[in-house]
Amino acid sequence: MARERQLSPRPAPARSLSRRSLLGGAAAGAAGLTAVSAGTAAAATSAASRTVDVAIVGGGIAGLTAARDLVAGGRTVAVLEARDRVGGRVVNLKLANGGFTEGGGEFIGPTQDRIKALADSLGVATFTTYNTGNNLLYKDGTRTPYDTSGLLGSVPPVDAAGLANAAIVQSELDSMAATVPVDTPWTAAKAAEWDKQTFESWLNANAIVPSAKFLLDLACTSIFSAQPRELSLLYVLYYIAAAGNDSNAGTLERLTDTANGAQESRFVGGSQQVPIKLAATLGDRVVLSAPVRSITKSGSSYVVTADGITVTATRVVVALPPPLAARISYDPLLPAARDQLTQRMPMGSIGKAIAVYDTPFWRADGLNGQAVSDSGVVRSTFDNSPPDASYGALMGFIEADEMRAYDAASEADVRTAVLADYVNYFGSKAKSPTSFVLQRWDNEGFSRGGPVAYAPPGVLTEYGAALREPAGGIHWAGTETSTFWTGFMDGAVRSGERVAKEVLAALG
């Protein structure tokens, strides 16, 4: 069983229905795809110390992108990564057959321009997510294959009343989202009204047909790995608005679709190739196994103390999700608004379960491996096989309430439950995989969930302005701070590019 060792940080001193992109966590796989180590990154040692212009906390895509741009701007940097690998919520998991699969973020799609540009610059190609054949709907114990090339596209074939209601609700959400500024959603004309209610309360008043409510609930858990009751309506509208770029308005359909949506493509060699190759360009500026414990202002500088290394810098970039950034000890204390924000943005609850087979047998049955369900531990699946189909891989997302129910379960129990779902969806051949890998992000010490830290009611209007506002010489990055494609790899890249410009301007 290939999976990331579970790291627990020591306490600091006194979006039709498919998938999205940004998670992370385990060991790199595939030939030539080893974790950044001795030849490129440095390992922290007990007596190590450095003095640089900018210390960067976090070696995920956001932190590495910021480092790249700061170095290009003539500044010295040190990237401190808590794990023994780079990538954060993006990772490749080794398989028993010598292959690999993505344990975290893996998909990209239209308008995700910055991650695509970064991958292109590093020579990491993409291929189209397998999408040939029928999707599956498993509802009320009935298995229904359906063609996605018709008028409904990938929308599951529920009853006509439900489809009509869901279409109205989706159109209304897109219209409302179009009024939300992606850089300052808390300034929307109806921000106060929308932020005082949950997404569920709004759905209960608008998705009045049960089958429509099922579709919207499934879209919510698939996008956020959180239940509708946990999310602010304003935050959901902002997230929809952010699923685009400067030239294309965000839509719910783009969040949830495979073809022409956020799940359209994958990376040849696995998504972790992007941060690994990016880190290789930075060499020993990247320090692994160095969880940061404190950030202390000392005169005109900051002292960043991590396990095995201390870095003195003029500026600091913290490229972590808000709840993890809050676990660092700051002296002086952060502004109250920033600290209150981090106390109120939890991580979603998510896992990925991948069953590996000799062949992608479902393709011979005319299926594309994509299923959605109203029951089971896995409610949505994808074909995660390699582009040459040299073996088959079914990937299932375990999300929100379902993930929380299995956080403390044994891996054997999770495997049993997942395979029972796969048999329901794809038949008896799914019962006996050659191997099985599981990544539970809730239990991973330097993520504690995923794919994104979300905002419950009241957070954006009261504390949203603190999301990107520097605290003295401390600046904030990470996909949660992006104005487009929040929660995705593209958002991570955009945040790194934005914070690098911010820091370069501050340094003059």
Question: 31: pLDDT confidence band, cut at 50, 70 and 90?
Answer: very low
Query: Please, what sign has the CA dihedral across residues 175, 197, 374, 271?
Result: positive
Reduce the DSSP state of residue 459 to 3 states and report it.
helix
Reported in sequence order, the residue ranges of 148-291 that DSSP labels E, i.e. its strands, are: 265-267, 286-288
pLDDT at 14: 34
Picking from 25-29, 37-41, 300-304, 438-442, which range would have the lowest pLDDT averaged per residue? 25-29
Take residue 174 and report the two structure tokens written for it. 């897109």
pLDDT for 212 beyond 80: yes
Percent over 90 (pLDDT), the chain: 89
Cβ pair 442, 350 in contact under 8 A? yes
User: What is the pTM for the complete model shown?
Assistant: 0.92
Secondary element (H or E) of residue 313 = strand 309-318
Kindly report, residue by residue over 412-453, the tens digit of the pLDDT.
Answer: 999 999 999 999 999 999 999 999 999 999 999 999 999 999
Strand partners of residue 453:
347
In sequence order, which residues have a C-beta less than 8 Å from that of residue 196 and are 6 or more positions away?
457, 458
* Arithmetic mean of pLDDT, 67-83: 98
- Give the burial class of 249: count Cβ atoms within 10 A of its Cβ; 0-12 exposed, 13-18 middle, 19 or more buried: middle
Distance CA 83, CA 276 (A): 13
Strand partners of residue 93:
101
Percent over 70 (pLDDT), the chain: 92
| Buried residues in 231-242 as b, exposed as e (16+ CB within 10 A) | bbbbbbbbbbbb
Question: 150: pLDDT confidence band, cut at 50, 70 and 90?
Answer: confident
| Buried residues in 16-45 as b, exposed as e (16+ CB within 10 A) | bbbbbbbbbbbbbbbeebebbeeebbbebe
pLDDT at 151: 77
| CA-closest candidate to residue 24, choices 100, 79, 107, 90 | 90
Q: Beta strand pairing status for 301-306 and 435-440?
A: unpaired
Kindly report, residue by residue over 388-417, the tens digit of the pLDDT.
Answer: 999 999 999 999 999 999 999 999 999 999
pLDDT at 154: 85
pLDDT at 224: 98
Question: 8: pLDDT confidence band, cut at 50, 70 and 90?
Answer: very low
The amino acid that residue 9 corresponds to is P
- Please give the DSSP secondary-structure letter assigned to residue 30: S
Distance CA 233, CA 167 (A): 18
- Please give the DSSP secondary-structure letter assigned to residue 262: T
Q: Report the chain's mean pLDDT, rounded to a whole number.
A: 92
Secondary element (H or E) of residue 142 = strand 142-146
pLDDT at 152: 78
pLDDT at 317: 99
| CA-closest candidate to residue 303, choices 339, 332, 279 | 332
Kindly report, residue by residue over 124-140, the tens digit of the pLDDT.
Answer: 999 999 999 999 999 99
User: Backbone phi, then psi, for 191, in 5-degree steps?
Assistant: -55, -45
* Arithmetic mean of pLDDT, 196-209: 98
Total Cβ atoms within 10 A of residue 152: 15
pLDDT at 47: 58
* Arithmetic mean of pLDDT, 197-207: 98
pLDDT for 478 beyond 70: yes
The amino acid that residue 482 corresponds to is S
Total Cβ atoms within 10 A of residue 150: 10
Cβ pair 429, 363 in contact under 8 A? no
Distance CA 424, CA 222 (A): 19
pLDDT at 20: 38
pLDDT at 40: 63
Question: 43: pLDDT confidence band, cut at 50, 70 and 90?
Answer: confident
Secondary element (H or E) of residue 368 = strand 367-373
* Arithmetic mean of pLDDT, 362-366: 98
* Arithmetic mean of pLDDT, 368-386: 98
Total Cβ atoms within 10 A of residue 82: 22
pLDDT for 319 beyond 90: yes
Cβ pair 289, 35 in contact under 8 A? no
Total Cβ atoms within 10 A of residue 188: 22
Cα–chain center distance at 499: 19
Reduce the DSSP state of residue 354 to 3 states and report it.
strand
- Give the burial class of 108: count Cβ atoms within 10 A of its Cβ; 0-12 exposed, 13-18 middle, 19 or more buried: buried
pLDDT for 358 beyond 90: yes
User: Backbone phi, then psi, for 98, in 5-degree steps?
Assistant: 95, -10
pLDDT for 17 beyond 70: no
Picking from 31-45, 268-282, 342-356, 480-494, which range would have the lowest pLDDT averaged per residue? 31-45
| CA-closest candidate to residue 485, choices 248, 265, 319, 197 | 248
Distance CA 122, CA 90 (A): 16
